[in-house]
């Protein structure tokens, strides 16, 4: 029988590994400063977290996406983005690249995925987008394996 009890929770992780946390926070700040757009970055972080089964990161980035005013319809459909017309070609290229890098063992980070990315993003944007995907995958592996407890979702406003 498995449990969902934390092995090491997020606040404890930050206290136990402050330099690691600071390094990961610095990567996050660099991605934000790149100008990719908070809405796009949050969508890709949600999608990678869904694939990796990281409840903590899903909840964390859903909260940030709502604060960034990502439309609820996109949040509802990001798991099935390929079948939804509401995502722009730029979002679709970024989500495809997210899936390719998150499932890298499946060898789907191929030339066609990269060509689609190049049609929508500059080389600088691709470098930052790829970093954002690697970053969330690192967090997913930390948070899921240590079973960080997801924060309760914000209460609905009246």
Roughly how many angstroms between the first and final C-alpha of the chain, as a whole number?
A: 40
Predicted confidence at residue 148, as pLDDT, reads 96
104 occurs within a structural domain: yes
pLDDT at 4: 80
Is residue 2 a part of any domain in this protein? no
Contact by Cβ (8 Å): 40, 71: no
Residue 95 lies in a domain: yes
120, 34 contact by CB (below 8 A): no
Radius of gyration of the chain (CA): 16
Regions of the chain with pLDDT less than 70: 1-2, 153-154, 156-158
At 157 the pLDDT is 66
Query: Do residues 122 and 35 lie in contact, with contact meaning Cβ atoms separated by under 8 Å?
Result: no
Alpha helices, DSSP H, located in the chain: 10-16, 18-33, 38-52, 55-67, 72-77, 89-102, 111-120, 123-146
122 within some domain: yes
Per the CB < 8 A criterion, the answer to whether 44 and 132 are in contact is yes
Q: What is the CATH number of the domain that holds 91?
A: 1.20.1290.10
**Number of domains within the chain:** 1
Which residue range forms the structural domain that includes residue 103? Answer: 17-146
What's the pLDDT score for residue 153?
66
In a domain? residue 127: yes
Q: What percent of the chain has pLDDT over 90?
A: 84
Contact (CB, 8 A) for 7 and 15: no
Asked, for residue 120, whether it belongs to a domain, the answer is yes
64 in a structural domain? yes
Residue 96 lies in a domain: yes
């Amino acid at each position: 029988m498995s449990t969902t009890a934390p092995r090491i929770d997020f606040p404890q992780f930050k206290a136990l590994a402050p330099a690691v946390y600071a390094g990961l926070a610095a990567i996050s700040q660099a991605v934000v400063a790149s100008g990719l757009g908070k809405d796009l970055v949050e969508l890709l972080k949600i999608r990678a977290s869904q694939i990796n089964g990281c409840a903590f990161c899903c909840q964390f980035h859903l909260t940030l996406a709502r604060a960034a005013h990502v439309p609820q319809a996109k949040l509802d459909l990001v798991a099935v983005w390929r079948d939804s017309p509401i995502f722009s070609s730029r979002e679709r290229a970024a989500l495809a690249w997210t899936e390719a890098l998150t499932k890298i063992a499946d060898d789907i980070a191929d030339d066609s995925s990269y060509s689609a990315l190049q049609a929508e993003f500059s080389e600088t944007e691709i470098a930052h987008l790829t970093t954002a995907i690697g970053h969330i995958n690192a967090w997913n592996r930390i948070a899921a394996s240590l079973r960080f407890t997801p924060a309760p979702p914000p209460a609905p406003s009246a």
